[in-house]
């Protein structure tokens, strides 16, 4: 596979119109990736999800040239939400629709400079090496979005054994409010998707990000989000991880000025042989900031769920309030759940806690519900839905909350 990647890189460098500075950055990144390769369990961050082995088991070769059809079929976009749309087809920005908004307040740069040093994360090296367009969206100061923005990642039927590298950066200037929904379509073919995003949230701004992996696909996905918060800014981040064969959410949030806050909540709901991981790092770099994390998992069949969560508190981050909890229900003996909660605290005036629990469903509760006339399967479904509904209820956008309940059938 290494020779295939080298060959693909030489072709993309010679074929596309990159500046000399971009070529230099890309060449440094591909060299770094080839030295490291796909991450494996020898790396602490990948000890529960050996991507090198997963890639080897699912692909003989990966094509990173992305020369497939990029035509979007009609009727493929979700219509249950009134929303603006950025549509990516096979990793390429295909359609921009901000019909509900003031376009003077939105700036889209379709070929933004990478402008960065070589990252130590091999998958980010791979992304920087192969991404054809770095898209950057800037929301001007003081603008409040009227409707959510859907980031729709669409894979065409003919795409197979392809590596798709996408990058979409987002800057919210001061006093901005924006809700984003990330979603992709169903796909029976196996592809590798590597999505990277850098987000800056300006002073007094609010970003609500809803990442919905709901459609069944055999693809292998890695999603990396680097999010920086300014003074008195707020991030609400919700994850529904249920559709892909393998998916790792890698989220790094930094509270860089006082009075910032983060609410990060997630659901892992798996069956068959699916394998999903949520990894979060919350960096409290300044005083008087708050973070809250709640991750719940329901695993059945031969599935595997992982949660790695870390709260870091800088020495100057006094008055920090950090909370983290992971809970999992294991529906049979073949599933596997791994949790690694961490606190790294260097300040003394803080309030931080973390916890992790996992276990079987409460048979006494099932017996009680069956005594009231429900079947065993209906009782189990009611209990698991109630377990997960606590996370969904933390969604503050009522339209998106109702949409999530509809697509999951989780209503109690």
What pLDDT, in 10s, does the model give residues 13-58? 887 778 888 888 899 999 999 999 999 999 999 999 999 999 999 9
Indicate whether 102 pLDDT > 60. Answer: yes
Residues contacting residue 176 through CB under 8 Å, at least 6 positions apart: 139, 140, 141, 142, 143, 144, 202, 205, 206
Angle formed by the axes of helices 2-15 and 122-130, nearest 10°: 40
DSSP state letters, 42-111: TSGGGTT--HHHHHHHH-S--B-S--S--PPPTT-S--SS--EEEEEETTEEEEEE-TTS-GGGEEEETT
What number is the average pLDDT over the span 314-335? 95
Indicate whether 373 pLDDT > 90. Answer: no
Indicate whether 408 pLDDT > 90. Answer: no
Comparing CA positions, the residue from 93, 86, 92, 113 lying closest to residue 178 is: 86
pLDDT of residue 76: 56
Rounded percentage of the chain residues whose pLDDT exceeds 90:
68
Q: Tokens at residue 31, please?
A: 């060299």
Indicate whether 146 pLDDT > 90. Answer: yes
Q: Which of 75-79, 112-116, 398-402 has the highest mean pLDDT?
A: 398-402
Question: pLDDT digits over 168-207, tens only?
Answer: 999 999 999 999 999 988 887 899 999 999 999 999 999 9
Burial class (CB in 10 A: 0-12, 13-18, 19+), 317: buried
Indicate whether 352 pLDDT > 50. Answer: yes
Indicate whether 79 pLDDT > 80. Answer: no
| Residue 346 near residue 314 (C-beta atoms within 8 A) | yes
pLDDT of residue 312: 97
pLDDT of residue 366: 83
What is the side-by-side order of every strand in the sheet holding 275-284? 106-109, 134-139, 163-172, 192-201, 217-229, 244-255, 275-284, 304-313, 336-345
pLDDT of residue 81: 78
pLDDT, mean over the chain: 91
C-alpha 32/C-alpha 40 separation (Å) is: 15
Burial 392-412 (b: 16+ CB within 10 A, else e): beebebeebbebbbebbebee
pLDDT of residue 365: 84
Q: Tokens at residue 213, please?
A: 């992996």
Rounded percentage of the chain residues whose pLDDT exceeds 70:
95
Q: What does DSSP assign to residue 157?
A: T
pLDDT of residue 411: 62
């Amino acid at each position: 596979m290494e020779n295939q990647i080298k060959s693909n890189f030489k072709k993309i460098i010679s074929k596309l119109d990159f500046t000399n500075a971009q070529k230099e950055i890309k060449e440094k990144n591909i060299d770094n990736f080839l030295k490291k390769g796909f991450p494996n369990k020898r790396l602490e961050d990948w000890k529960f999800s050996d991507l090198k082995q997963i890639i080897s088991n699912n692909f003989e070769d990966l094509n990173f040239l992305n020369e497939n059809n990029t035509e979007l079929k009609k009727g493929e976009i979700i219509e249950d939400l009134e929303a603006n749309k950025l549509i990516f087809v096979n990793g390429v920005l295909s359609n921009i629709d901000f019909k509900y908004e003031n376009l003077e307040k939105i700036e889209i740069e379709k070929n933004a400079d990478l402008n960065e040093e070589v990252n130590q994360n091999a998958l980010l090296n791979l992304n920087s090496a192969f991404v054809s367009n770095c898209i950057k969206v800037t929301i001007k100061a003081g603008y409040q979005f009227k409707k959510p923005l859907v980031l729709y990642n669409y894979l065409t039927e003919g795409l197979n054994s392809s590596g798709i590298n996408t990058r979409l950066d987002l800057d919210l200037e001061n006093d901005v409010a924006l809700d984003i929904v990330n979603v992709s379509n169903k796909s029976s073919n196996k592809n590798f998707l590597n999505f990277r995003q850098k987000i800056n949230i300006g002073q007094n701004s609010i970003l609500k990000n809803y990442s919905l992996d709901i459609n069944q696909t055999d693809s292998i996905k890695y999603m990396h989000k680097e999010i920086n918060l300014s003074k008195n800014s707020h991030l609400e981040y919700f994850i529904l991880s249920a559709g892909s064969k393998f998916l790792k959410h890698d989220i790094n949030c930094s509270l860089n000025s006082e009075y910032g806050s983060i609410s990060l909540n997630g659901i892992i709901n798996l069956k068959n042989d699916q394998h999903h991981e949520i990894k979060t790092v919350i960096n409290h770099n300044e005083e008087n900031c708050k973070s809250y994390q709640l991750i719940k998992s329901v695993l059945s069949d031969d599935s595997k769920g992982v949660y790695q969560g870390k709260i870091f508190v800088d020495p100057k981050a006094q008055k920090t309030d950090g909370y983290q909890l992971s809970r999992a229900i294991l529906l049979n003996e073949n599933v596997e759940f791994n949790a690694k909660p961490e606190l790294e605290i260097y300040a003394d005036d803080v309030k931080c806690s973390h916890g992790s629990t996992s276990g079987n469903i409460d048979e006494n509760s099932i017996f009680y519900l069956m005594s009231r006339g429900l079947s065993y399967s209906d009782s189990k479904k009611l209990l698991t839905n109630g377990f997960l509904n606590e996370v969904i209820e933390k969604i503050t956008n009522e339209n998106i909350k109702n949409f999530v309940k509809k697509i999951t059938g989780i209503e109690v």
